[in-house]
Amino acid sequence: MHRIVAVLAALASSLLLLFLAVPIGKLIGASGVAGIRQLASDGELRGALGLTALTATVATLFGVLGGTPLAWLLARRDFRGRAVLSAVLDLPLLIPHPVAGIALLLLLGRESAVGGVLLAAGLRVVGTPLGIIAAMLFVAAPLFISGAREAFARVDPRFEAVARTLGDSPLRAFYRITLPLSRRGLIASAVVMWARAVSEFGAIVVLTYNPKVASVLSYDRFTSFGLRDALPVAAVLAVLALIPLTALRALRGADDGVAP
C-alpha cells in the first residue's frame, strides 16, 4: 500500500515538474540564442528591457523604503488591527492584475483627486513610466513586505534586548543588530520584488501601454505579428529571469545562522 502511494506521489510530482519546466526550456531552446542575437539589432527590444529594469528598480527602491518599517512593525509589534493590516497588504497579491490596474487608474487617473493634484504638480502618471512604476509597486511590494517580515521574525528579539542594555536606542539597535542579521532575507525579498515587477503585465497594460516594458512588448509583438516574432522577445525575458533566480539561490545558500 505504502509502495503504491509512493509511486503515485512520484508520478504526480514528476508530471508537475515537467509541466513547469518544459515550456520554459522549449522557449529558451527554440529562440534563446536568436533572442540574444536580436538584442544587437532590435532597438525597441533593448529600450523595453532598459525601461523594465529601470522602472522595476525604482519601484523596488520605493517598496524597500516604505515596506521595511511596515515589515518590522508586523514582525515585532503586537497591536490592535495587525491582522487587518496584514490582510490589506496581501490583497494586491490576490486580485487579478488588470483589476489592480483599474483600481490604480481610479486613484491616479486625471479625473481623480490625487491624479489631478499630481497633474497640477506636473506629474502625469497614466501613459508614462510613472504609471509603470505605480503598477509594479502595487503588485510586487506585498512580496517584499511579506519576505522582510519573515526575515525580521527570524532574528530573536533578545539580540535587540541585549543591545538596548548595552546602551543602544531602539533605532540604533535596529541599524547595528536587526538590519545586519536580517540582511540576507531583506535582499532576497527585494530581489523577489524586483523579479515580480519585471514580469508584471496586467496592471501595467491598463496604466501605461506606451512606452512599452518588455512584457508588454512581447504581448504586442504576439498580437501584431504572431508567434514567430514574439518568440525571441519572450525567450530573452525567460533567460533574463535566470539572473534574479541565481541571486536568490546564492542568498539562500548562505544562511545567516542567527541562533543565540
Partner 1 sequence: MMECRSLSARHGTFALTGVSFTVPTGQYGVVIGPAGSGKTTLLETIAGIVPATAGALLLHDRDVTALAPEARGLGLVYQHAYLFPHLSVASNIAYGAASAEVAESVARRFGADALAGRSVRTLSGGERQMVALARAFARRPSVMLLDEPFSALDPRRRTVVRREVRALHREWGLTTLQVTHDFTEAGLLGDIAILLDGGAALQSGAPDELFRRPASPYIAEFLGAENVLAGQVRILEDRAPDWLDGEPSLLAHGHRAIEFTSGPLTLSTVGDFPAGAGYAVIRAEEIVLSLESPSGSARNRFRGIVSEVSTLGALTRVTVDIDGVPLVASLTTRSAKELALAVGRQVTASFKAVGVHLC
Residues that bind partner 1 (CB under 8 A): 156, 158-159, 161-170, 177, 180-181, 256-260
Handedness of CA 130, 133, 138, 142 (dihedral sign): negative
**Contact (CB, 8 A) for 177 and 159:** yes
Nearest CA-CA partner of 191 in 20, 52, 56, 95: 56
Q: How far apart are CA 124 and CA 12, in angstroms?
A: 50
User: Considering the complex, what minimum distance in angstroms separates the CB of residue 257 from partner 1?
Assistant: 6
User: Considering the complex, what minimum distance in angstroms separates the CB of residue 72 from partner 1?
Assistant: 17
| Residue closer to partner 1, measured from CB, 150 or 256 | 256
| Residue closer to partner 1, measured from CB, 53 or 179 | 179
User: Considering the complex, what minimum distance in angstroms separates the CB of residue 176 from partner 1?
Assistant: 8
Q: How far apart are CA 173 and CA 194, in angstroms?
A: 28
| Residue closer to partner 1, measured from CB, 171 or 227 | 171
User: Considering the complex, what minimum distance in angstroms separates the CB of residue 118 from partner 1?
Assistant: 41
| Residue closer to partner 1, measured from CB, 93 or 162 | 162
Nearest CA-CA partner of 192 in 155, 147, 254: 147
User: Considering the complex, what minimum distance in angstroms separates the CB of residue 155 from partner 1?
Assistant: 10
Within 8 A by CB and 6+ apart from 28, the residues are 235, 238, 239
Within 8 A by CB and 6+ apart from 217, the residues are 44, 45, 48, 233
| Residue closer to partner 1, measured from CB, 54 or 258 | 258
